[in-house]
Structure 1
Amino acid sequence: MQTLYKDLVKHFGGQKLTAAALDVSQSNISGYVSGRWNMSELVAIRAEKVTGGKFKASDLCPSLKEFQRVTA
């Protein structure tokens, strides 16, 4: 998971730019990258939208994968 968050940061060109694109604080991005916490559903969906689907919300947020499994 941390690698995916690092790839997301790389996509935007840094933690501050990623934070601005996702409308969260840079400390949130740092927390994702370091593994302190996972991305929320809302932020993951926002990330999928702003990256044009390059990063899938269900990959960024484990609870969305569970939701997909249960509703499938």
Structure 2
Amino acid sequence: MPEFSLKSLIGYELECERIYIEVLAHFGNQNLTAKALGVSQFTVHTWLKSGGRISLSKAEKLEQITGGRFHPSDFSHLK
């Protein structure tokens, strides 16, 4: 997997868990991530900010649409 940074994906740095950066990189940007998961771009942006967290139902949807690439247990608050 190529190296990437949050800054390269959204244009600036934020503090967040690496898994959120990987999800964003998988889809390419916040808008595409939001569309794939059926949430707003603002919701995805909050996941990238310290304290924002994906819900269990969205993590399960993420697992489904990525064929298991991501799993709810990848997110520390869902372990």
1:36 alignment counterpart: 51
RMSD: 1.4
TM-score, normalisation: structure 1: 0.79
Map 1:19-58 → 2, pairs under 5 A: 19-58=34-73
- Shift in Å at residue 2 of structure 1? 2.1
- Shift in Å at residue 33 of structure 1? 1.1
Give the total of aligned pairs. Answer: 64
Matched to 1:34, the amino acid is K
2:74 is the alignment partner of 1:59: yes
Matched to 1:7, the amino acid is E
Gaps of 5+ in 1: 66-72
Alpha-carbon separation, structure 1, partners of 2:38 and 2:72: 15
- Shift in Å at residue 61 of structure 1? 6.0
1:68 alignment counterpart: none
Gaps of 5+ in 2: 1-15
TM-score, normalisation: structure 2: 0.73
Superimposed CA distance per residue, residues 8-44 of structure 1 (whole angstroms, 9 cap, x where no aligned partner): 0110010000000000010010010122311101101
Matched to 2:37, the amino acid is L
Alpha-carbon separation, structure 2, partners of 1:60 and 1:22: 16
